[in-house]
């Protein structure tokens, strides 16, 4: 039975590790500076550095002894919802950002290969003498930027493509 204190860490979308708050008592964690810790656990030493942290999405990019890992945490309720098969599934993946209206590109704030989060500003589109900040509708990695500052775009024109 799932205890209310059981968490889960999914590492690199391959490994699921159950975590219990009682396990923290067996760990010796020492801060070493900004976003860096030294961890002793079951006789093994680990140097951990946090490269990126998205607390809202419970997603982290960590370097453990120099190796980069993507970690997604699930709280006890997330674990229970997933086990019951009630997790919200995405109906369709968003793979591009289209111009919501005709206008002039004033500023592009992303580049190819850049990782962005849902809600991050990606560009400024001027329409009817007003500047509109266009934000990312989803998290992802930019595959292609099909516009540049000064370009005129029509409504529906593809501006950004995700991987």
Residue 123 has pLDDT above 90, yes or no: yes
In the chain, which segments carry CATH 2.40.50.100? Answer: 96-162
Model confidence at 122, pLDDT cuts 50, 70, 90, reads: very high
pTM over 0.85: no
Model confidence at 76, pLDDT cuts 50, 70, 90, reads: confident
Residue 126 has pLDDT above 60, yes or no: yes
Model confidence at 89, pLDDT cuts 50, 70, 90, reads: low
Give the integer Cα–Cα distance in Å for 105 and 96.
16
CATH code of the domain made up of 96-162: 2.40.50.100
Give the integer Cα–Cα distance in Å for 137 and 51.
23
pLDDT of residue 88: 62
**Which of 14-18, 52-56, 59-63 is the most confident on average?**
59-63
CA 57, chain centre distance (Å): 7
Q: For 13-22, 76-85, 103-112, which range has the lowest pLDDT when averaged over its residues? A: 76-85
């Amino acid at each position: 039975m799932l205890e209310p204190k059981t968490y889960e860490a999914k590492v690199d979308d391959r490994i699921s590790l159950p975590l219990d708050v009682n396990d923290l008592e067996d760990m010796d964690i020492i801060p070493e500076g900004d976003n860096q810790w030294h961890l002793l656990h079951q006789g093994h030493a680990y140097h951990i550095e946090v490269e990126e942290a998205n607390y809202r999405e419970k997603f982290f990019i960590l370097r453990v002894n120099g190796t980069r890992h993507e970690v997604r945490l699930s709280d006890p309720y997330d674990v229970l919802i997933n086990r019951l098969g009630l997790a919200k599934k995405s109906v369709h993946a968003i793979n591009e950002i289209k111009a919501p209206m005709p206008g002039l590109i004033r500023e592009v704030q992303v580049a190819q290969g850049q990782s962005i989060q849902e809600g991050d500003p990606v560009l400024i589109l001027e329409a009817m003498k007003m500047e509109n900040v266009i934000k990312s509708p989803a998290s992802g990695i930019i595959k292609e930027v099909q516009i540049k500052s000064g370009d005129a775009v029509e409504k529906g024109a593809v501006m950004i493509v995700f991987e």
